[in-house]
Each structure stands twice: as C-alpha cells, then as structure tokens.
Structure 1
Amino acid sequence: MSLEEGVALKGVETVLSSSDRGFYLIVEDNERMIGQCLITREWSDWRNGYFWWVQSVYVYKDWRGKGIFSSIFEKIRSMARERIDIVGLRLYVDRENASAREVYQRLGMKESRYVMYDMDLLDPESD
C-alpha cells in the first residue's frame, strides 16, 4: 500500500478540525516538528470503556534513538491514566519492523493474542 499525499492531508485536516476523530501529540525542537503520533479511540463493550489507538507514529531519522517516542508514549500513558473511561492502549506495527517492536516492548506494551485482519474497500480487487 502506498501513501497518497492528498488523501493523507485530508485525513490530517479532518482530525485537526474534529476532536472526536482523535488528536495528535507532537514534539518540536526550535519550532520544528521532530516526532508525532495520532491517538484515536475505540469503544470496548467487553471492558465498558475506550481503548486509545496509537497511530501514525513518526520520528525524523536524525532524532531516532534519542527518546523522542518514549517521551510521547509516556505523555499518552499519563493522559490515559488520568481518565476513568480509558481502559487500555493499543497499536499495530508491521511484523518486519523489529526496531519499533523492541521500543514498544521496552515501554511496557505486550504482543496481543489477537491477529489483525483488514479489507481495503477502496481497492476494486478486494471483492
């Protein structure tokens, strides 16, 4: 799957104009963004609360390995713990992205017993 810049830009604009869609956490250095992630939520009837999904994680290459994402994640965890309606944090990561998986595990995330499936409804070959 490739990223379509125009579609992604509209997606970001939608989040920024509709707080019910999610919110971004951004780290800056001298007014330049160096890292970011998006938080969206999913209702769990089994847990009677929301899971926050950590998405669109990105840290510029020059800043990787310097604790940028760790600081973002600690902020997310702190914000979630302040709210009684948030029951957990979730994220998905490419199976081949070993370095990201190591970071997530080091931060206390555990591999889920669930397997993710998806269907691209915009792909005409998905029928």
Structure 2
Amino acid sequence: MMIREAKNDDAAQIAAFQLEMALETEHLQLDKNTVERGVAQVFADPSKGTYYVAEKDGQVIASLLTTYEWSDWRNGTVLWIQSVYVRPAFRGNGVYKKMYRHIQQLVDRDDRLKGVRLYVDQTNSRAQQVYEKLGMTAEHYQLFEWMKD
C-alpha cells in the first residue's frame, strides 16, 4: 500500500467516497454535483487543502483531506484532517493509521507546521478509539458550529 498526494484524476473517486461516507455516517444523501464541484475546487485552488489517497494494487482504497488553520499561539499552521474515507473491505487493516503517520511525518519535517487536528462525530466510537490509539487526545476542545442551510 502506498500513500500519496491525490491527483486531479482521483477527483471522481474522492467525490464518490464523500457521497458514501455521508450516507453511511450521517444518513445524508448529498447532491452529487455539489460534492464533485467541491472536490474539484480543492484541486483548482491548493490554498483550500490537499487530498491524500491510499493506493493498493493500483486501486484507490482510501482518501482524506487536509486543510489549514493558522495558529497565532504557535506562529504556524495546524493541519486539519477531514473527509476521511476507507473502503469497507479495507477497514481494520491499518489503512488510516498509515495515512495518519504520513501526515504526521509531513508535519514533523516542516517547521511551519505545528500539529494535526480532526473532528469526529460524538457517536463514532470506533473512529475515536482509532484516533486515541494513534496518540491523539480529545481533552482540550469541544467543537461548536453554525452552518447556514
């Protein structure tokens, strides 16, 4: 298995993953065209983020998106991991762990990057256990949000 930065050719698969994830985790039927355009925007404007994929035997089996948060407290950028999806047949085999370690290494090698954050649905206990096993903590912040309809 190889972890790599996604290419524009991966956009359709990434969008399909996002549609599957929304349905699976939140029972939401997202608008396919909106999601496809949203994924395309990341490739068109790198300041929005970077997609990474896990590839095995030439097949993309997982993806995640990193976005950027400026931290004045740390005088640097924190990477947010978002939109994580691993094909069901490959779950429980360390795919996300390998992807996370890849992101962690990017942060370790770049003095401008200060850390990694992510958010997780409060009911997704399986994901929370994975994140805790990787050394992440949930002790500092609670996420609040407002989203317009």
Please report the TM-score for the alignment, with normalisation by the length of structure 2.
Answer: 0.78
- What is the number of equivalent residue pairs in this alignment? 122
For residues 22-50 of structure 1, the C-alpha deviation after alignment (integer angstroms, 9 at most, x for no partner) is 11110112222101100001001121111
Partner of 2:145: 118
Partner of 2:64: 37
Q: Which runs of 5+ in 2 are unaligned?
A: 1-25
Partner of 1:109: 136
Paired with 2:78 and 2:139, the residues of 1 have a C-alpha distance of 13
The answer as to 2:34 corresponding to 1:7 is yes
Partner of 2:88: 61
Task: Tell me which of 84, 107, 112 is aligned to 1:85.
Answer: 112
Q: Which runs of 5+ in 1 are unaligned?
A: none
Residue identity over aligned pairs, in percent, reads 35
Q: Give the helix-richer structure, 1 or 2.
A: 2
- Amino acid paired to 2:67: T
Task: Tell me which of 69, 76, 84 is aligned to 2:103.
Answer: 76
For residues 78-125 of structure 1, the C-alpha deviation after alignment (integer angstroms, 9 at most, x for no partner) is 01111111111000000110110000010110004211111112x1xx
**Any residues of structure 2 matched to 1:11-26 within 5 Å, and which?**
11-26=38-53
Paired with 1:33 and 1:83, the residues of 2 have a C-alpha distance of 27
